[in-house]
A and B are shown apart, each in its own frame.
Chain A
Amino acid sequence: DAKTTQPTSMDCAEGRAANLPCNHSTISGNEYVYWYRQIHSQGPQYIIHGLKNNETNEMASLIITEDRKSSTLILPHATLRDTAVYYCIVRENSWGKLQFGAGTQVVVTP
């Protein structure tokens, strides 16, 4: 009962922006959108999260549509070190589990 749908894989050229889509059409009003990534052989790493408004931090930007049914994670200038599996997760900000789906395998190429 995955709450999010992501493409299985995508490629991105080094130095270009990477736009990672996520569909979460059944998201409820009190659920946040979280993004994590997992570089090969490492533990998952938190990237960013948001509720309604767009968010930006030193790693990425998160754009959430007005109806909140989808979002896009933007890596502004992809580097080879951004090659990883990216997970989009919806979660309540009370005690809500992080439920990891299959994610999107992003490969950044020179």
Chain B
Amino acid sequence: DAGVIQSPRHEVTEMGQEVTLRCKPISGHNSLFWYRQTMMRGLELLIYFNNNVPIDDSGMPEDRFSAKMPNASFSTLKIQPSEPRDSAVYFCASSSTPTTGEQFFGPGTRLTVL
């Protein structure tokens, strides 16, 4: 079992550029979560999918952020245009059911926006 896979692991971009982060959840897991971690705000939930449908996106900071889950094995988090304050580590997590609190986290993508 490869666990949750995220790519890229590191991304450095310039302000104004589009950034796409990718996640492959654990096979058979029905729920997928995107989190962001910064020193100032800690670990925050951005959006949550169940069976590929966005359920709660109240944590998405603004319209520059969008997330999709076209199928059960792939999700993207896009930032367009990116800003320096978006610099953070972005984690994807998956779980077998939406009610369990046992989530499996990926290694994260460290994003730096210059």
Count contacts on A: residues with CB < 8 A to the other chain. 21
Beta-carbon contact of B43 and A32 below 8 Å: no
Contact with B along A51-79 (1 / 0, CB 8 A): 00000000000000000000000000000
- Docked Cα-Cα span, A100 to B105, in Å, equals 14
Beta-carbon contact of B42 and A98 below 8 Å: no
Nearest neighbor of B43 in chain A, beta-carbon distance: A100
Categorize the interface residue count of chain B. Answer: 20 to 34
- Docked Cα-Cα span, A38 to B93, in Å, equals 13
Beta-carbon contact of A91 and B101 below 8 Å: yes
10 A-B pairs in the complex with CB atoms less than 8 angstroms apart: A38-B43, A43-B107, A44-B103, A49-B102, A91-B101, A93-B99, A95-B55, A96-B101, A98-B103, A100-B44
State the B residues within 8 Å of A (CB). Answer: 4, 42-45, 48, 55-56, 91, 93, 98-108
